[in-house]
Amino acid sequence: MKAMVLDRPGVPLRLADLPMPEPGEGQILVRVSACGVCRTDLHVVDGELTEPALPIVPGHEIIGHVVETGPNVERFQKDERVGIPWLGYTCGVCRFCRTQRENLCDAPRFTGYQIDGGYAQYTIADARYCFPVPGDYSDAEAAPLMCAGLIGYRSLEMAGEAERLGIYGFGAAAHIVAQVARHRGQQVFAFTRPGDEEAQAFARDMGAVWVGGSDQRPPEALDAAILFAPVGALVPAALEAVAKGGVVVAGGIHMSDIPSFPYDILWGERVVRSVANLTRRDAEAFLALAPKVPVKTEVQPFPLDQANEALTRLREGRLRGAAVLLPG
Ligand SMILES: [Zn+2]
Ligand SMILES: [Zn+2]
C-alpha cells in the first residue's frame, strides 16, 4: 500500500510502498478514503512534539471503511464506515482512566504519533477507539470532524456558557466551533493574523459577529476565549479581552512560550487552561450533535502524494477550512 512516512522531524514526508498491515486482536483494518491534515501533524513533522514512534505514518482525522476485523471485534462489520481519531489507546487502569479522564491517561498512544495513521491507503485501529460516522457527510467532509471537530468541541465545553466567545486563529477547528457556538446562541468574535482578510471573510461567513486582527481589542469584553493559534503571546492578549470571571482556553497541543504578564490581567477570577486530547465520550457527544447543528465543513482536497504541500499550506495559513488527503 502507498503511504506518506515521516522518517525524522524536519524533513519532508516520503512516499513509500508499505506491506499491507494485518489486524490483530480487537483491531480493524480500514481502507482510508479521507484523512484530514491537522495542525498537530505539523507539530509532529516539525519536531515540536517530541515522542513520535519513528518512522511513523501521520494523520488522525481518518474516515474509511472496514476491510477486515481481527479476533474479538464485535463493534464493527466489514464495509462499515468508521472514523478514527487522535486517541488511539489508553491504559484503562491509571487514576485518570479510572475517573473518566482518559484524555489524561498516563500511558496513552495516539494515532499518527505512536500508531501509524491515515496518510496511507490502509490503516489499523483498535476498534474500541473508533466511531461510526454520521450519515450525510461525504468522507472528505467528515474527516475534519474527527479532530478539529472533537477537540474544538471539548474546547468549547471548557469555555463554559459564554455569551460572547472569542476565537483566536480561524482555521479548521474554529470554523466548526463557530457553527456550534452560534447554534447555541453564543456570539462569536473572531481574531485572525493581523491583516489576513481571507481568514476574516471566512470567519464572517461562519457567522462571527465581529472579526479583527489578534492585535485588536474586541468592541465589548468577552466572557471566554479559545486559542487555536499556537502563539503564546495570545494568552495575555486574550486575558485582556475577557471580562472578570472569563476563561481563556488553549485548544492546541503545542504553543510557543507565553510571555510574562501582570497579575492584574488574571485578577478578577479569570482562568487560563489547556485542553488535552479527547475522551471517547466527547466523540460520541460531538458526532451526535454535528448533524443537528448542522455543522458544515469546508475542505480542500489533496491527493495522498501531496501531503507535504498540504502541510506547507497549513503552516503558512494558506487554507480555507481544512485540508483533507484522499488516498483513494
Ligand atoms: Zn490510563
Ligand atoms: Zn488533530
Q: How far is the CA of 274 from the centre of ligand 1 (A)?
A: 19
* Rounded percentage of the chain residues whose pLDDT exceeds 70: 100
State the average pLDDT over residues 278-297.
Answer: 97
Among residues 295, 283, 255, 227, which one has the least CA distance to residue 88? Answer: 283
- The Cα 19–Cα 116 span in angstroms is 13
Predicted confidence at residue 286, as pLDDT, reads 98
Q: Counting ligands in written order, which one lies closest to the CA of residue 117?
A: 2
pLDDT tens sequence across 180-210: 999 999 999 999 999 999 999 999 999 999 9
Predicted confidence at residue 319, as pLDDT, reads 92
Cell output for 218:
474586541
Among residues 62, 64, 54, 61, which one has the least CA distance to residue 114? Answer: 54
State the average pLDDT over residues 277-295.
Answer: 97
Q: How far is the CA of 89 from the centre of ligand 1 (A)?
A: 9
Q: How far is the CA of 109 from the centre of ligand 1 (A)?
A: 10
Q: How far is the CA of 268 from the centre of ligand 2 (A)?
A: 33
pLDDT tops 90 at residue 135: no
Among residues 226, 217, 215, which one has the least CA distance to residue 249? Answer: 226
Q: How far is the CA of 309 from the centre of ligand 1 (A)?
A: 36
Among residues 76, 156, 159, 146, which one has the least CA distance to residue 287? Answer: 146
Predicted confidence at residue 328, as pLDDT, reads 83
* Rounded percentage of the chain residues whose pLDDT exceeds 90: 99
pLDDT tens sequence across 60-91: 999 999 999 999 999 999 999 999 999 999 99
What does the mean pLDDT of the chain come to? 97
Predicted confidence at residue 108, as pLDDT, reads 98
9, 98, 134, 300 from 39: Cα distances, Å? 15, 30, 24, 15
